[in-house]
C-alpha cells in the first residue's frame, strides 16, 4: 500500500479487457490508491470527478473508443417520489433499515452469495468467498457504513437477537456532499418488492436528513438495459465533458 497526499495521488492504467456491459467493447480503467489520513478527502474529490471506490482503490473508465459510462448523482434535496416510487415505498413499509459501521457478518455473506448465484452467475464477483466479502466491506480508509434492511415482525426469519429476516444490504460511503452507494444486494426471493429501487429511495431520505445534496449511483451505461433504472430518480446530474449537467429524463 502507498501513503500518498491528496494533492498528488499517483494514477495507473489497466490493460484492456472485455467490457461486462457492452458486447464487443473493451474497457480500461485509471485508478489510484485511497490510503492514509487524506483518503476521505481524496475520495470526495475523485467521486465528484467521476471515480468509484472499490476497497482502497478509486477508479474510473478510461476506454479508448467508448464513452458510454456516465457518472450519475441524484439531486436529493429536490427529489420527490413519483407515483411508481410511492408504490415501492408503500410495498416496503414493513422494512426496518439500520445503519452500522462497515463490519461484515456471516448473515450478510449468505444473502450476498444467494444474490450472486441468482443474478450474477457469470459476473466478475461470482466466485467471491466469505473472505473476499469481508475485504469488500472492511478494506476502506474512508467513512463507510453498512445498512441492513429487515422485515419487521417476521417470526420465521428472525436472527439470534430477535431481529427480522435480512432481505437487503447496502454498502455506502459518507461524503462531504452526499452518500455514495458502493454496492447493494438483496434476497432474490423478494424481487417483487423492487428492493434495489427501495434502497436508493432510502439513501435519498438519509441524504435529506443529513442535509446532503447528492446521492451518487455510480455509472449509467448508455446502451445497457440493466443500468436504465439509474435514470428513473429525477432530477439528477450527469458528469459530461463540461462538468455536471442537469438531467430531467
* Low pLDDT (below 70) residues in the chain: 1-7, 120-124, 126, 154-161
Q: Tell me, what's the pLDDT at 232?
A: 95
Cα three-residue angle 172-174-179, rounded to 5 degrees? 70
The alpha helices in 3-122, defined as continuous H runs, are: 39-48, 83-91, 106-119
**Domain-by-domain residue ranges, the chain?**
12-68, 82-210
DSSP at 163: P
Can you give the pLDDT at residue 1?
Answer: 42
Rounded CA-CA distance 172/170 in Å is 6
The pTM of the full predicted model, rounded to 2 decimals, is: 0.91
Q: What is the pLDDT of residue 206?
A: 98
pLDDT value of position 64: 87
Confidence at residue 20, expressed as pLDDT on a 0 to 100 scale: 85
- Please say whether the beta carbons of 171 and 207 come within 8 A: no
Region 82-210: CATH code:
3.40.630.30
Predicted confidence (pLDDT) per residue in 156-167, tens digit: 656 666 789 999
- Name the region of 74 (left: φ>0; alpha: ψ -120 to 50; beta: rest): beta
What pLDDT does residue 5 have?
47
The predicted structure's pLDDT at residue 154: 64
Q: How many CB atoms sit inside 10 A of residue 196's CB?
A: 16
Q: What are phi and psi of 45, to 5 degrees?
A: -60, -45
Q: Which strand ranges, in their side-by-side order, compose the sheet holding 12-13?
A: 12-13, 29-33, 57-61, 52-54
Amino acid at each position: 500500500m502507498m501513503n500518498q497526499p491528496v494533492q498528488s495521488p499517483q494514477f495507473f492504467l489497466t490493460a484492456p479487457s472485455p467490457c461486462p456491459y457492452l458486447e464487443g467493447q473493451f474497457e480500461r480503467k485509471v485508478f489510484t490508491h485511497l490510503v492514509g489520513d487524506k483518503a476521505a478527502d481524496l475520495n470526495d474529490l475523485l467521486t465528484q470527478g467521476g471515480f468509484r471506490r472499490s476497497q482502497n482503490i478509486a477508479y474510473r473508465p478510461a476506454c479508448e473508443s467508448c464513452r458510454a459510462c456516465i457518472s450519475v448523482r441524484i439531486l436529493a434535496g429536490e427529489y420527490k417520489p413519483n407515483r411508481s416510487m410511492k408504490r415501492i415505498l408503500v410495498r416496503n413499509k414493513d422494512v426496518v433499515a439500520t445503519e452500522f459501521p462497515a463490519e461484515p457478518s456471516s448473515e450478510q455473506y449468505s444473502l450476498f452469495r444467494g444474490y450472486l448465484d441468482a443474478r450474477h452467475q457469470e459476473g466478475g464477483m461470482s466466485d467471491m468467498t466469505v473472505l473476499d466479502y469481508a475485504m469488500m466491506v472492511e478494506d476502506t480508509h474512508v467513512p463507510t457504513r453498512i445498512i441492513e434492511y429487515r422485515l419487521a415482525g417476521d417470526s420465521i426469519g428472525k436472527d439470534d437477537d430477535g431481529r427480522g429476516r435480512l432481505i437487503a444490504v447496502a454498502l455506502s460511503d459518507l461524503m462531504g456532499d452526499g452518500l455514495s452507494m458502493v454496492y447493494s444486494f438483496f434476497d432474490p426471493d423478494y424481487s417483487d418488492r423492487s428492493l434495489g429501487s427501495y434502497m436508493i429511495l432510502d439513501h435519498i431520505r438519509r441524504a435529506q436528513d443529513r442535509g446532503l445534496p447528492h446521492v451518487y449511483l455510480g455509472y449509467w451505461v448508455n446502451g445497457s438495459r440493466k443500468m436504465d433504472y439509474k435514470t428513473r430518480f429525477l432530477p439528477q446530474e450527469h458528469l459530461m465533458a463540461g462538468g455536471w449537467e442537469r438531467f430531467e429524463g
